[in-house]
Amino acid sequence: MSATGRGPMAALAVILLCAAPVAAQSTNPLHGTIDELTAAINDQVVDWRRDIHANPELGMQEFRTAGIVAEHLESLGIDVQTGVGGTGVVGVLKGGLPGPVVALRADMDGLPVTELADVPFASRVTTQWQGREVGVMHACGHDNHVAILMGVAAILSEMRDDLPGTVKFLFQPAEEGPGGAEPMIADGAMENPKVDAVFGLHVFPSPVGMISYREGGMLASSDGLRIVVRGIQTHGAMPWGGVDPIVTSAQIINGLQTVVSRQVDLTDSPAIVTIGQIEGGNRGNIIPDTVLMIGTIRTLNPDTRTLVHERVRRMAESIAAANGAEADVTISLGYPVTVNDPALTRQMVPSLQRIVGDGAVSQPPATGAEDFSYFAQEAPGLFIGLGVGADDPTLVHPNHSPYFYADERALPIGVRALASLAVDYLTGRPISED
């Protein structure tokens, strides 16, 4: 199946279609420049996206992608630093006028997934992963993120004389793991100059022309849960001769579900506790001495995160003790909640409405996780979703699917969105104040 959206006229048609509902409200002359430059560069953005899609790299191995990004930024006269937090790239564009500092982030890594999507630029890349050869695919759409931000860099570099402030471009490695945001921050990506606000986007299989946002918790924290239940091994015919960790584990699994259903205020913030793996015993007539359970904890509020951790630990340890067993509970902190700063979100929503009109919608939170959350802890942040779902429902598949398909008509929408967020923040002129 061939991709759509090629050519400047096709790009301009998408732009005009998406801008029509509210374009007349904008009097900021820089908006028109963004729109014109987006149409002019759209073919190049599509080509970047297809090249990166066909050549995906796993986290902290994005050497080719980082090289393409760095060369592009340097060609625009943007100050470039490479090797940030591993394979990250940071570009600094100084505007012609004094003003604040805004950061725009794109993640670069692919996933160990063998692509099955029917596109002419499908990945054929393989690599070693956990001791075996696997395919590599941009199954989460990060190729779109990189190409979009490369396009934004080209546009804003053309406008630099009119920009009041500085734009930092953060091309981040390893969002899918082991996590590239924290190492980039440790290497000073949010400093020198210090970032005042940070924006990012992620593609989702919602309809093209939709941009989603949410004040507060947008994406969940994701923490690893490991419980080892220790009993006393005995013959299956004489359970009273030991302590059964399997029965205890079953009670713990049921008890953990009441942490969410009975101990968390779900009207305030959702939470999920999942046990996805359980191992114990090797024969039907032997009660083993240990059972291992592995799962995840997801929350959408930092306070709820702390509460659930405490209650999960208490529940497992108490049930184990009641059965004469012991439970060793380990909770490994993963990505924190991705929190959109409420004031920044309200300020910038008109910028999104200019791009897609009624397609800019406030959405319920999602339980996926994102390490953009770390950048948003360093400065007020806004993370948005960009719809890339095709009109043909047979092409619509979730992120991380080997069939994941991104409709390229969304690319100019993403370019305009990030460029407009940056310009409107720097100028202090959201559309509602024009």
Q: What is the pLDDT of residue 4?
A: 35
335 is annotated as an active-site residue: yes
Model pTM greater than 0.85?
Answer: yes
pLDDT for 246: 98
Active site residue 378: no
- pLDDT over 90, % of the chain: 90
Give the pLDDT mean for 76-94. 98
Instruction: Give the percent of the chain with pLDDT over 70.
Output: 92
pLDDT band for position 28 (cuts 50, 70, 90)? confident
Cis peptide before 98 (omega within 30 of 0): no
Q: What is the mean pLDDT of residues 399-414?
A: 98
Residue 345 pLDDT greater than 50, yes or no: yes
Report the DSSP pairing between strands 381-389 and 211-213.
antiparallel
What values do phi and psi take at 16, rounded to 5? -65, -40
Q: Where are the domains of the chain?
A: 8-219+337-433, 221-332
Fold for the domain defined by 221-332:
Alpha-Beta Plaits (3.30.70)
Which one of the listed residues 57, 115, 335, 370 is annotated catalytic? 335
CA distance 292 to 106: 37
State yes or no: pLDDT of 231 exceeds 50.
Answer: yes
Question: Strand, coil or helix: what is 345?
Answer: helix
pLDDT > 90? residue 385:
yes
Structure tokens at 279: 């191992």
The CATH architecture to which 8-219+337-433 belongs is 3-Layer(aba) Sandwich (3.40)
Encoded tokens for 215: 């004040």
Alpha helix (H) ranges present in 88-198?
142-158, 181-186
pLDDT over threshold 60, residue 213: yes
The amino acid occupying position 202 is: H
pLDDT in tens, 116-134: 999 999 999 999 998 999 9
DSSP string over 282-344: SSTTEE-SEEEEEEEEEESSHHHHHHHHHHHHHHHHHHHHHTT-EEEEEEE--S--EEE-HHH
3-state SS string over 230-255? ECECEECCCHHHCECHHHHHHHHHHH
Quote the tokens at residue 295. 């799962």
